[in-house]
Amino acid sequence: MSLFDLVINIIESSIMCYFIYKYFDFKNIEKLWLFILAVFATITTSDYFINESWLTAVLLVIVLVLFLKVFNKKMSIENIIVCLSALIMDLVCNTITLILGSSLDFMISDSVAKLTILKIFSKIIFLLSSMYILNRKMKYNSNLNTKRWTSIIGIFLVLLLELFILANDYTLKNINPKDILFCMFLTVVVTLAIFNIYGKLLKENEESTSIRLKNEEIRYKKENEKVLSKMSEDIYQLEHN
């Protein structure tokens, strides 16, 4: 492993850990450095001794989730899914970069140079994606329930699987009709899931609006009752003076 690979691992670990750190609004900077070191050690050790990428992903998930305890954060489904989201975001960026890599063959003949460019580009996309999500989260500051989180992570996993299949066929220059058909099926599933979530959001918004209007009506009635009560007291005092 080269020095460049170690630097890439440090950058990848830092982005992943910082995303989780800022998402949960943790305040302990010393624990953040420990967090980055643990994730970096996991990625680097896996590069040396583990050839299976899925096993590396499992180890990373374990480390990310365990550090919720280090930061004294509850291990709820939502919090675990946030940790998974950071890893999935990284995998999606890597997959997108892999697809783009095949289109650079005619531009860059040196495979080492091409791989270096792709690694840098992948981490830039990862950083921008993380900052964008953090910015949206801070802007809206809303929490999703467990079912909604599960649905969203399920959609991400399906899209990741679809990206992986297409990227594999594209890079190997072996377009398999069965793979295309399967990806079309996955696209239909994702589309239906998105429409389902959208429909539920509309229903929840309608219910929320209805509750808000009822609360406004109740508040208005109470204010009127107070005014009427005050007027009655004033009239009573005038009559007895």
Q: What number is the average pLDDT over the span 29-53?
A: 85
Residue with tokens 């910082």: 18
Report pLDDT digits (tens) over 178-229.
777 777 787 778 778 777 777 777 777 777 778 888 888 888 888 887 877 7
Task: Find, among 94, 8, 76, 68, the residue nearest to 43 by Cα.
Answer: 8
The whole-number average pLDDT for the span 26-36 is: 90
In tens, the pLDDT along 188-197 reads 787 787 777 7
Q: What percent of the chain has a predicted confidence (pLDDT) above 90?
A: 13
Query: 3-23 and 53-70 helices cross at what angle (nearest 10)?
Result: 40
pLDDT tens digits, one per residue of 85-140: 888 888 878 877 877 776 666 677 777 787 888 889 989 999 998 898 888 775 55
Between CA 179 and CA 167 the distance in angstroms is 11
What whole-number distance in Å separates Cα of residue 222 and Cα of residue 234?
18
- Contact predicate 81/104, CB 8 Å: no
- Sketch the domain layout of the chain as residue ranges: 1-142, 144-241
CA-CA distance, 92 to 71, in Å (whole number)? 27
pLDDT at residue 160 tops 90: no
* Dihedral sign computed on CA atoms, order 75, 76, 77, 78: negative
